[in-house]
């Protein structure tokens, strides 16, 4: 059976499953060069399927998902309607034949800042909103912990009939039409798609899943929830936490002039200490989210800004090192620090006590998979791991809406009785590199770059020598990483001991000079330079204390860094770092994504060459060889 998963929301993406196995996956921004692409066109689908060796006529079921409550953006050649107009197929359970009574079509255009990401997509279809699930769960940030035990018992003892009833409550039947050709399809609940993405990629057979993103906490599971991941069943809900922390981050970033770039707000937070009044706002925020009233969530944003104007504790020595382009930089710094305090305090206290209770009930749920856009808040991931050290916190690289179609298709496999080939107990960073529809590379270098003859030198030897000489290199090899973090396949690297390379890289990329860069080191060298557990440093989704003053290019102003550890399986970088150490050099390098500001990661060789030339770095290192500019 072939299942096509489509995310029509921001960070639009496509996934193809064949008989329960993920065959190919694509983030559309990489091909269209439209960062955070909003919406999908007919040609996007056709090109993806063709590159995956199939066509639309061979698809059995389409799984549709989107940003919750937003209009699904598409071209006029795509049409989606509620319910089915064709005869019910024998492979689909009969209780899915009717449009559910607890579903509604709803659509707003979303954040205005995302409108520019829907290029030439004039069709709009409302997404589906569910008011309830057909399975018991707790709701709110102040749930009765004692009530979790019977829910755990019920989930672990779920019968086939109960499983079918629950899973089908996550779906709404629709008809999907591409250039006049109809397919049976399901709209899959947004956070269920997040949860089943984590279920598919969890490193453990059983785990707890926590989803959290920018959805407003106005309906159950609209901003996220806590689920059990159970093999053979999928992701079973426990708690709709109703935390709208992603909403707060989005609103604050817009209010201080960061154009809905919450990652920048996170990077700005260390330039100030939290205001005394921000600690009082933690309880205020908890009450706002408990109320589920939108006006209270909006009022929280105003309260954070008010306190930040009144009480400022700027780290002026750190702030004085860089220029800032915001209209009121000190307000932005203070707001960022206060917001980070509130969101991480609430997340750790509310979610942490639920995770701890589940672990007390059964140690088989010691792995916690994090997904949803809030997963990219690295300080929060680090704090919850620190305070609940008995758990293994596992944030996933496709945690944003990018991973939704994988989760939607994985859920449909469970519903339709298809054996899901989960990625359990796999090695390394497999979740960062799902199979692509094509290699996306060219073996014929354009004439605007010059091949560098290495002679007897290997590629790792060249990398190590160039790094020691202070050069800045762009890496383009294999399949690009999923999500926003570059992990060595689409990276810009240099020696981390040289502070000037940080400024040179940020400047050439068109990136703000105050923003930090990240380090890469070998797993065996991690504890020589950083505090913490190297096992957490796979996807650059935790922060670690820097133990030395010798790494100025990757040390943020609060003394932390988002480290990536590599093992011997990463032949290039591990070998190059080994050579650095053998030459008595510090074996830590700078790592940032290979792209110009405002663009997604480079995907093809031609894109790599173009960005390399525009940024005017020293060398482009690829699977086909090393190149320099003319």
Q: Using the predicted structure, report yes or no on whether residue 119 has a pLDDT greater than 70.
A: yes
pLDDT at 171: 93
pLDDT at 427: 58
Q: Which residue has the higher pLDDT, 110 or 11?
A: 11
pTM above 0.85, yes or no: yes
Chain region(s) in the chain for CATH 3.30.420.40: 1-133+169-188+400-427
pLDDT in tens, 272-294: 999 999 999 999 999 999 988 88
Give the tokens for residue 589: 């390098």
Least confident of 35-44, 252-261, 463-472: 252-261
Percentage of the chain lying above the pLDDT 90 cut:
80
Give the tokens for residue 17: 């499953």
Distant-in-sequence, close-in-space partners of 214: CB < 8 Å, separation ≥ 6: 223, 246, 247, 249, 250, 373, 374
Q: Using the predicted structure, report yes or no on whether residue 30 has a pLDDT greater than 50.
A: yes
Percentage of the chain lying above the pLDDT 70 cut:
96
> Which contacts qualify for 91-98: CB closer than 8 Å, 24 or more apart?
91/1, 91/60, 91/416, 92/61, 92/184, 92/416, 93/164, 93/168, 93/415, 95/164, 95/165, 95/168, 96/168, 96/171, 96/173, 96/186, 96/415, 97/173, 98/173
Closest by CA position to 81, among listed 168, 6, 170, 173: 173
Closest by CA position to 375, among listed 287, 262, 288: 262
Average pLDDT along the chain: 92
How many beta carbons lie within 10 A of that of residue 523, not counting itself?
A: 16
- Do 383 and 348 touch, CB atoms closer than 8 A? yes
Q: Which residue has the higher pLDDT, 391 or 96?
A: 391
- Region 575-591: mean pLDDT is 98
* CA distances in angstroms from 290 to 142, 143, 281, 343, listed in the order given: 7, 10, 14, 14
Q: Using the predicted structure, report yes or no on whether residue 185 has a pLDDT greater than 50.
A: yes
Distance separating alpha carbons of residues 48 and 46, to the nearest angstrom: 5
Q: Which residue has the higher pLDDT, 195 or 108?
A: 195
Query: Per CATH, which fold does 1-133+169-188+400-427 belong to?
Result: Nucleotidyltransferase; domain 5 (3.30.420)
Q: What is the 3-state secondary structure (H, E, C) of 305-332?
A: HHHHHHCCCECHHHHCCCCCCCCCHHHH
Q: Using the predicted structure, report yes or no on whether residue 554 has a pLDDT greater than 80.
A: yes
- Do 325 and 513 touch, CB atoms closer than 8 A? no
CATH numeric code, 449-629: 3.90.870.20
pLDDT at 533: 96
pLDDT in tens, 447-505: 789 999 999 999 999 999 999 999 999 999 999 999 999 999 999 999 999 999 999 99
Q: Using the predicted structure, report yes or no on whether residue 250 has a pLDDT greater than 50.
A: yes
Residue 440: pLDDT band (50, 70, 90) is very low
Overall size of the chain counted in residues: 630
Residue 216: pLDDT band (50, 70, 90) is confident
Q: Which residue has the higher pLDDT, 309 or 90?
A: 309
Q: What is the 3-state secondary structure (H, E, C) of 331-378?
A: HHHHHHHHHHHHHHHHHHHHHHHHHHHHHHHCHHHCEEEEECHHHHCH
- Region 171-200: mean pLDDT is 95
Distant-in-sequence, close-in-space partners of 424: CB < 8 Å, separation ≥ 6: 202, 203, 204, 205, 231
Distance separating alpha carbons of residues 212 and 369, to the nearest angstrom: 11
pLDDT at 115: 77
Closest by CA position to 286, among listed 277, 276, 296, 295: 296
Distance separating alpha carbons of residues 181 and 336, to the nearest angstrom: 49
Chain region(s) in the chain for CATH 3.90.870.20: 449-629
Distance separating alpha carbons of residues 281 and 269, to the nearest angstrom: 17
Q: Using the predicted structure, report yes or no on whether residue 261 has a pLDDT greater than 60.
A: yes
Q: Using the predicted structure, report yes or no on whether residue 141 has a pLDDT greater than 60.
A: yes
Q: What share of the chain is helix, strand, coil (3-state, %, to 5)?
A: 40, 25, 40
Q: Using the predicted structure, report yes or no on whether residue 515 has a pLDDT greater than 60.
A: yes
pLDDT in tens, 171-180: 999 999 999 9
Q: Which residue has the higher pLDDT, 78 or 146?
A: 78
How many beta carbons lie within 10 A of that of residue 440, not counting itself?
A: 19
Q: Which residue has the higher pLDDT, 96 or 23?
A: 23
Q: Using the predicted structure, report yes or no on whether residue 442 has a pLDDT greater than 80.
A: no
pLDDT at 292: 82
pLDDT at 131: 79
pLDDT at 476: 96
Closest by CA position to 606, among listed 592, 624, 618: 624
Distance separating alpha carbons of residues 1 and 417, to the nearest angstrom: 10
């Amino acid at each position: 059976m072939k299942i096509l998963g489509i995310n029509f929301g921001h960070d639009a993406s496509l996934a193809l499953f064949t008989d329960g196995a993920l065959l190919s996956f694509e983030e559309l921004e990489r091909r269209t060069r439209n960062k955070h692409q909003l919406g999908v066109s007919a040609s996007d689908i056709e090109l993806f399927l063709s590159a995956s060796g199939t066509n639309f006529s061979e698809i059995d079921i389409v799984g549709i998902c989107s940003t919750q409550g937003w209009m699904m953006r598409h071209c006029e050649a795509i049409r989606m309607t509620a319910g089915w107009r064709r005869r019910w197929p024998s492979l689909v359970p009969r209780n899915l034949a009717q449009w559910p009574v607890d579903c509604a079509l709803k659509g707003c255009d979303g954040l205005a800042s995302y409108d520019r990401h829907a290029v030439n997509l004039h069709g709009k279809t409302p997404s589906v909103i569910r008011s309830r699930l057909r399975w018991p769960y707790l709701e709110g940030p102040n749930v009765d912990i004692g009530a979790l035990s019977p829910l755990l018992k019920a989930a672990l003892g779920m019968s086939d009939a109960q499983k079918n009833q629950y899973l089908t409550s996550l779906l709404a039947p629709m008809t999907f039409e591409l250039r006049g050709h109809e397919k049976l399809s399901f709209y899959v609940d947004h956070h269920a798609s997040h949860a089943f993405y984590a279920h598919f990629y969890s490193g453990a057979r059983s785990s707890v899943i926590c989803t959290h993103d920018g959805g407003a906490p106005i309906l159950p599971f609209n901003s996220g929830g806590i689920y059990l991941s159970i093999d053979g069943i999928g992701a079973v809900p426990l708690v709709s936490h109703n935390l709208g922390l992603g909403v707060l981050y989005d609103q604050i970033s817009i209010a201080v002039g960061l154009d809905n770039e919450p990652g920048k707000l996170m990077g700005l937070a260390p330039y100030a200490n939290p205001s005394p009044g921000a600690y009082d706002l933690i309880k205020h925020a908890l009450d706002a989210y408990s109320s589920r009233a939108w006006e209270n969530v909006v009022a929280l944003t105003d309260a954070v800004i008010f306190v930040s104007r009144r009480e400022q504790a700027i780290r002026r020595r750190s702030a004085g090192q860089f220029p800032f382009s915001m209209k009121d930089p000190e307000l932005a710094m203070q707001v960022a620090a206060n917001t980070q305090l509130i969101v991480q305090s609430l997340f750790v206290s509310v979610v942490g006590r639920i995770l701890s209770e589940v672990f007390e009930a059964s140690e088989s749920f010691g792995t916690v998979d994090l997904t949803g856009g809030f997963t990219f808040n690295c300080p929060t991931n680090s704090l919850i791991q620190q305070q609940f050290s008995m758990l293994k916190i596992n944030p996933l690289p496709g945690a944003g809406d990018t991973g939704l179609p994988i989760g939607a298709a994985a859920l449909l496999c469970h519903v339709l009785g298809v054996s899901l080939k989960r990625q359990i107990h796999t090695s390394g960073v497999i979740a960062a590199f799902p199979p692509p529809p094509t290699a996306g590379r060219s073996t014929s270098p354009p004439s605007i770059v010059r091949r560098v003859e290495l002679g007897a030198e290997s590629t790792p030897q060249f990398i190590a020598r160039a790094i020691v000489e202070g050069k800045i290199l762009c890496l383009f090899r294999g399949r690009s990483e999923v999500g926003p973090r570059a992990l060595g396949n689409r990276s810009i690297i240099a020696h981390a001991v040289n502070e000037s390379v940080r400024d040179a890289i940020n400047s050439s990329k068109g990136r703000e000079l105050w923003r930090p860069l990240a380090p890469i080191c070998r797993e065996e060298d991690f504890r020589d330079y950083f505090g913490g557990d190297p096992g957490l440093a796979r996807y650059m989704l935790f922060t670690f204390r820097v133990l030395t003053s010798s790494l100025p290019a990757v040390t943020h102003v609060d003394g932390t860094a988002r480290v990536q550890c590599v093992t011997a399986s990463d032949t290039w970088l591990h070998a190059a770092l080994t050579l650095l150490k053998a030459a008595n050099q510090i074996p830590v390098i700078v790592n940032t994504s290979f792209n110009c500001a405002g663009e997604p990661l480079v995907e093809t060789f031609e894109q790599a060459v173009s960005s390399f030339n525009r940024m005017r770095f020293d060398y482009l290192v690829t699977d086909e060889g090393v190149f320099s500019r003319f």
